[in-house]
Amino acid sequence: MSQSRQDTARSDEPNRLANIVSKIFAGQSGNTSLSICLSNDASAALMAGADAQDDCAVFRMTGAQELVVGSDYVRGPKFRLYELGLLNDYDVGYYLVTANVSDIAAMGARPIGVVTVVRYPPDMTDDTFAQVMCGIRDACRRFSAPNVGGDIGGAERLILSATALGVCLPGHALFRHGARPGDVVCLTGPTGIAGAAMSYFRSGTRSALVEDKHREQLLTSWSRPNARVREGVCLGDSGMVTSCQDTSDGLKAAIESVAAASGVGMVIDERRLPIAPEVAAVCECLDLPVPPVMFGDSVDFELLFSVPRDRLTPLTGLFSAQGFRFHAIGEVTSAPDVVLRQSDGRHVPLPGVAWRHQSDSPAVPLAT
Amino acid sequence: MSQSRQDTARSDEPNRLANIVSKIFAGQSGNTSLSICLSNDASAALMAGADAQDDCAVFRMTGAQELVVGSDYVRGPKFRLYELGLLNDYDVGYYLVTANVSDIAAMGARPIGVVTVVRYPPDMTDDTFAQVMCGIRDACRRFSAPNVGGDIGGAERLILSATALGVCLPGHALFRHGARPGDVVCLTGPTGIAGAAMSYFRSGTRSALVEDKHREQLLTSWSRPNARVREGVCLGDSGMVTSCQDTSDGLKAAIESVAAASGVGMVIDERRLPIAPEVAAVCECLDLPVPPVMFGDSVDFELLFSVPRDRLTPLTGLFSAQGFRFHAIGEVTSAPDVVLRQSDGRHVPLPGVAWRHQSDSPAVPLAT
């Protein structure tokens, strides 16, 4: 089978910048539709983006605002599902953006841009490189966060890292440290899906043990992960939320981290936790208990937040008006313990093992 | 020989964050000495930095300003001089910051912060990890650009990437594209030192062929590289400069890139190029011609810029007043060619081979 030139071409960095990156991100600079208007006085407008090919992107900022900046490396080609051939280069580019934009969402800010580092091995073709960049572009479009530049060049393997930028009005950035006793603990959606996907596909039983629709959902949690950007903006704008964090280190890690930063405890109510059907299906299929999967090492990009009890109804209204929902899953306590109230009323430690990023070694066991 | 616990300890990510990163960067959040005041109306103040341990750093921005954002991955442990044992982990952390801050300098902006990605192999001890972070911290101090957060965690080897942020008054960001025929081409200092260092130390003749003082300067270009931050701010503030870029891809690449972006040519005058004594020494020692070393693949972080001829004297005055200098090395032409005017008056193509970042393969030959 012959390969076209396009399939095998390997341009150097200046040509990749000029012929691939600049074309994919053409028309950014000065594009007014990419401006973020926070109020009559405060705005952030992209003046020079990836298409400008300068050393840096430039935004024109006016008025009082908070600038939020976070950075995440993603393992990308070291993901087990990539190694298993279930994710491709487009997917890991897409994932890179989601992981970074999720941090902006968790701070209650509107994304204004993402800068990406894409380093590739010597044998990566222009075609494959373009797939990575297209995954980045498409995720950026989904989250209205233009890829405004970054760094491309060689490395011994594909290395992906990024920084996301966002803005919000002064005093509206959300932190981990503001939860107060009596606040309600809330979650934007079910967790454990990405972890269940990992368990399922790594188990080697991926032929047909769960229904196709569940299998698809499991894969989507890695190939087209969603960041709760609009929900995060809603939380930030509301002025009602006392703390927030995404669940990218797992639900247990998020709960423990917010509780520790706030100097409080939490009682999470097992009966109120949303359970994704695909998580239930995997647990049944692999004979795993559900709670450790929901709490443990699973990168789901949901938002965990706290809100004073008397603001629960108005916040629910704000969410409903935009077609979103969240789940009240527990309560903040002054006692510093973080516990799960089981269906039988007993309090037990949170199940699951928190992701600790120690290395690229295999994920920790899901069962407690 | 016994090793202390500290030398062999390998904490997981949460403990590294809590016990190493947070301590190294303690006291950032809300530290008013880290605020940048651009005018009576415009400022950028760090509200939440690396010590806050949130998903993102937060800056409070007031008034009209331009936000400049750039990202650079550095090969760090893949640097040949690291592999040769001439650079250590502290040095590559330091280098990471310089490379990123240099991009902000080249845009004429004041750095407000750096976010860093530091991924480490499973066998990296806390002690070594702390050395990387201390290198980052010390370079950040040098350039008044606090390390406000980022990402730490595991990888198969040390992976270093960062994003630097800066601000300037509206209209003062410098780009590559504004050079105009008749402008004078200027350079903040001699180039080729980092490239000469690479040639020298790789040649295996590193015993004592150049004088110790030169050897030290050669190594310093990699272990304590300088970014021209104050010079860049001076250029941006002046409002006189028509284009700017750093020489991190080599002088030839910088000249060609500014010329191409501006749609102009340049005549560079060989007699006016500043020559570093250590470059001359290496060239003599290795029997290399000097010009290809000065123009070629050498990461020197000098600034190349253009200024209208009638602004040359006032700009020189501004620089002198701050104890800096620059070198007028040529002229912008309407003819699109970029040429070197040799001492004998002949025009020849720029010597040297531009760095093209294709891969981690050995550097291209220095001689033309």
pLDDT digits (tens, 9 = 90+) for A70-116: 999 999 999 999 999 999 999 999 999 999 999 999 999 999 999 99
pLDDT the model gives residue B127: 96
pLDDT band per the 50, 70, 90 thresholds, residue A347:
very high
- Among A84-98, A118-132, B11-25, B83-97, the range scoring the smallest mean pLDDT is B11-25
pLDDT the model gives residue A89: 97
Q: Is B135 on the interface with A (CB under 8 A)?
A: no
**Residue, of A291 and A30, whose pLDDT is higher:** A291
Across the range B186-202, mean pLDDT stands at: 96
pLDDT the model gives residue A365: 33
Number of H helices and E strands in chain A, helices first, is: 13, 14
**Residue, of A249 and B367, whose pLDDT is higher:** A249
Q: Which of residues 10-69 of A touch B (CB under 8 A)?
A: 12-14, 44, 47-48, 52-69
Beta bridge partners of B152: B118
pLDDT band per the 50, 70, 90 thresholds, residue B356:
low
The closest alpha carbon to A192, from A100, A286, A322, belongs to: A286
pLDDT in tens, A244-301: 999 999 999 999 999 999 999 999 999 999 999 999 999 999 999 999 999 998 999 9
pLDDT the model gives residue B366: 31
pLDDT band per the 50, 70, 90 thresholds, residue B110:
very high
The closest alpha carbon to B271, from B312, B310, B328, belongs to: B328
Contact call for residues A154 and A119 (beta carbons, < 8 A) = yes
Chain position carrying tokens 């700017």:
B244
CB-based contacts of A317, cutoff 8 Å, min separation 6? none
Q: Of all residues in chain A, what percent carry a pLDDT higher than 70? A: 93
pLDDT in tens, A317-336: 999 999 999 999 999 999 99
pLDDT the model gives residue A5: 53
Under CATH, what is the fold of the domain B10-168? 60s Ribosomal Protein L30; Chain: A; (3.30.1330)
Q: Which residues of A touch B116 (CB under 8 A)?
A: 71
Selecting from A73, A121, A165 the residue whose C-beta is nearest the C-beta of B119 gives A73
pLDDT the model gives residue A29: 85
- Tell me: pLDDT of A314 over 50: yes
Across the range B232-242, mean pLDDT stands at: 97
Contact call for residues B89 and B131 (beta carbons, < 8 A) = yes
pLDDT the model gives residue B66: 97
Contact call for residues B212 and B147 (beta carbons, < 8 A) = no
Contact call for residues A69 and B146 (beta carbons, < 8 A) = no
Across the range A119-145, mean pLDDT stands at: 96
Maximum CA extent, chain A: 68
Mean pLDDT of chain A: 92
**Residue, of B337 and B359, whose pLDDT is higher:** B337
How close B171 comes to chain A (CA, Å)? 9
pLDDT the model gives residue B358: 41
pLDDT the model gives residue B178: 96
pLDDT the model gives residue A205: 63
pLDDT band per the 50, 70, 90 thresholds, residue B17:
confident
pLDDT band per the 50, 70, 90 thresholds, residue B217:
very high
Mean pLDDT of chain B: 92
Q: Which of residues 285-314 of B touch A (CB under 8 A)?
A: none
Range B311-316, long-range pairs (CB < 8 A, 24+ positions): B311/B238, B311/B240, B312/B184, B314/B238, B314/B240, B315/B235, B315/B238, B315/B240, B315/B241
pLDDT in tens, B120-170: 999 999 999 999 999 999 999 999 999 999 999 999 999 999 999 999 999
Does the distance separating the beta carbons of B65 and A57 come in below 8 Å?
no
- Tell me: pLDDT of A368 over 70: no
Instruction: Kindly report the backbone phi and psi dihedral angles of residue B273, in degrees, each rounded to the nearest multiple of 5, phi listed first.
Output: -70, 130
Does the distance separating the beta carbons of A12 and B357 come in below 8 Å?
yes
pLDDT in tens, A204-234: 765 558 899 999 999 999 999 999 999 999 9
pLDDT the model gives residue A358: 41
| Preferred mutation among A176, A359, A360, A361 to probe B, highest tally of B CBs within 10 A | A359
Q: Which residues of B touch A165 (CB under 8 A)?
A: 67, 69
pLDDT the model gives residue A22: 86
* Alpha helices (runs of H) in chain B, residue ranges in sequence order: 5-8, 13-16, 22-24, 80-83, 89-106, 126-142, 193-202, 212-223, 229-238, 251-262, 277-286, 290-295, 312-321
- Tell me: pLDDT of A30 over 90: no
Query: What is the dotted CATH code of the domain comprising A5-168?
Result: 3.30.1330.10
Selecting from B73, B148, B165 the residue whose C-beta is nearest the C-beta of A117 gives B73
Give me the residue spans of the domains in chain B. 10-168, 184-349
Query: What is the dotted CATH code of the domain comprising A184-349?
Result: 3.90.650.10
Do the interacting molecules here have an ipTM over 0.90? Answer: yes
| Preferred mutation among B151, B176, B235, B355 to probe A, highest tally of A CBs within 10 A | B151
In order of A15, A80, A126, the CA distances from A222 in angstroms are 31, 11, 24
Q: Of all residues in chain B, what percent carry a pLDDT higher than 70? A: 93
Instruction: Write the burial class of residue B161 (CB in 10 Å: 0-12 exposed, 13-18 middle, 19+ buried).
Output: buried
pLDDT the model gives residue A17: 87
